[in-house]
Amino acid sequence: MESTPLHKALEEYNEKGYVVFRNVIDEELIAETREHVEWLQRKNPHLRPERLNYTLVQNDPFWVRLVSDDRLLDIAEQFIGSNIALFASHYICKPPFDGRPVLWHQDGSYWPLEPMEVITLWLAVDDSLPENGCLRVIPGTHRMDLHEVKKYRDIESVLNSEIDPSLVEEDKAVDVVLKAGDVSVHHPNIIHGSNPNHSPIIRCAL
């Protein structure tokens, strides 16, 4: 793993609300993860590939091996300490040409956790690029309070909900471009989302 020094990672996270770690998971495990996603899709053809959620994987041996990989736990430990529990996990896979967007939101708004001592680890299973709907964040918004999300069904989206658009300064958004095997970490309060995938390139993440 190409390590990010602890002090630098925490400094960047505290300043911006997110940080990226490069080359965390090796190509062999990423290839197995892609096979796992394809297997889940074959088993669940009625589900959108963006909705391969915890109900499908909570007793799945491969998924347990992946989420308990020491390389991921070592990253999590830098932010929340060694007493780590997994609250939720899922794949969001945007298929070529018709992958749905994730509207602007804060993760913590969906989570009944008190205290909110939690982070999101986002593992790129495929290269995640602007053209295939990479993660987008608005740096600094992790200092905001959590705001309620509202149902929004005017367009098809992954969560069918969004934060109040008046809170979003979209011109400040940053594309989080990742290679397969990279990991981004983001704060539960940071405003983030992603565009649809109209490209021929799949974009899957855990």
| pTM for the predicted model, two decimal places | 0.93
- pLDDT computed for residue 5 by the predictor: 67
The residues, ordered by sequence, that sit 6+ positions from 142 with a Cβ below 8 Å of its Cβ are 16, 17, 18, 186, 187, 188, 189, 190
Distance of alpha carbon 27 from its chain centroid, rounded? 19
Q: How many residues does the chain have?
A: 206
| 86's tokens | 């997994």
Query: Are the C-beta atoms of residues 19 and 139 closer than 8 Å to each other?
Result: no
- Please give the average pLDDT of every successive group of 10 residues along the chain, which has 206 residues: 68 96 97 97 95 90 96 95 93 96 94 93 98 98 94 85 94 98 98 97 97
**Sign of the alpha-carbon torsion through 171, 183, 60, 37:** positive
- pLDDT computed for residue 153 by the predictor: 80
- pLDDT computed for residue 1 by the predictor: 43
Tens of pLDDT, residue by residue over 84-112, are: 999 999 999 999 999 999 999 999 999 99
Query: Are the C-beta atoms of residues 178 and 124 closer than 8 Å to each other?
Result: yes
Helix (H) or strand (E) holding 54: helix 54-57
Find the largest Cα–Cα distance for the chain. 45
- pLDDT computed for residue 155 by the predictor: 84
The count of other CB atoms within 10 Å of the CB of residue 135 is: 25
Helix (H) or strand (E) holding 121: strand 120-123
Q: What pairs with residue 92 in β-bridges?
A: 205
- pLDDT computed for residue 3 by the predictor: 52
Measure the CA–CA gap between 125 and 179, rounded to whole angstroms: 8
